[in-house]
Structure 1
Amino acid sequence: MHSGCGLWAQAPFWNVDKVKSLVADRSHPISFFCGGSRNFHRFIDLFDEVFVLNVDLDTLNSRLASRPEDEFGGKPAEREVIVRLHTTQEDTPKNAMSIDATAPLASVVDDIPSKC
């Protein structure tokens, strides 16, 4: 298994060429890309499945409050954008499968492959 997790954790835009390169790499039987990207529309069609980890607004705010300022979402202005996007769902892929991310971590982790 290959994971793209953390490669773009600091930025809301993913490097499209890097995504294409990782998707094209068939040396791993399965790959997961983790995180949100404001430019997902430029590469989402490359993925076999797309999952969105959903939380309620209180949970989101609690998690954002614990982020350090040097991590995306750690600054008040970034939090405002994240909350707006959460509320409007404007940057949520429409055909994604929803995963309840308020559930215990083990349950969330098990839920994703069960839907593949």
Structure 2
Amino acid sequence: MGKRNYLIEGVSCTGKTTVCNELQSRGYHAIHGDRELAYQGDPETGEPTNSGTHENHIWDLDKVKACVANSDEEITFFCGGSRNFSKFIELFDGVFVLDIDRGTLQQRLDERPQNEWGAKKSERDLILRLHETKEDIPKNGVLIDGTKSIEQVVDDILFHCEKNDRQQT
């Protein structure tokens, strides 16, 4: 929904939702992808499933394309994780990957409410493995230190957006 569109990705508990909230509080157009675009489906075909698994947590490709095509906003941030990001990543002007150390990740997992994804041992084990292997996050994104204060994290993202804009003009 922006003339410029950025994806903010990262392993669970790196701060994607918090970044989205902070961007919105600063007046930026930011989409909670995990709430507004996500569903359970086959990452290759998009066909809906009832699996309830991490591997099938995908974003609706048509909705992503429609949001990117709408240029009502100067800049839009898409925040969240999707197992089918390879189907739409080329639509973005830039990609940011929130990154935290293992200790911070374990602390954040310990603080997760019992009803949120990542609270169960099997989910925690998967998150820790994905953090270690980085296997389901974009490889060429700009790494952002997610251990900083939320204000600093968002300032870093905005700095890179401005830098990207200057390079394109």
Name the CA shift for 1:72/1:24 in 2 (closer, same or farther; >3 Å).
farther
Q: TM-score, normalised by structure 2?
A: 0.62
- After TM superposition, the structure 1 = structure 2 runs for residues 43-54 of structure 1, keeping only pairs within 5 Å, are 43-54=88-99
Match of 1:92 among 133, 137, 140: 137
The alpha carbon displacement at 1:23 in A equals: 1.1
Partner SS state of residue 79, structure 2: coil
From 158, 163, 168, the counterpart of 1:113: 158
Partner of residue 8, structure 1: 34
Instruction: State the distance in 2 between where 1:20 and 1:58 align.
Output: 36
Count of aligned residue pairs for this structure pair: 115
For structure 2, which runs of at least 5 residues remain unmatched after alignment? 1-27, 40-56, 162-169
Identical aligned pairs, as a percentage? 50
The list of structure 1 runs, each at least 4 consecutive aligned residues, that deviate by more than 4 angstroms after superposition, is: none
Please report the TM-score for the alignment, with normalisation by the length of structure 1: 0.88
Deviations 1:13-52 (A, max 9, x none): 2222221121111111100011221221111111110000
Deviations 1:65-95 (A, max 9, x none): 2222332223222222111111001112111
Higher relative CO (Cα under 8 Å, sequence separation at least 6) belongs to 2
Mapped partners of 1:114, 1:102: distance in 2: 17
Q: Give me the whole-angstrom Cα distance separating, in 2, the residues matched to 1:48 and 1:74.
A: 34
Q: Which has the larger radius of gyration?
A: 2
> Runs of 5+ in structure 1 lacking a partner?
none
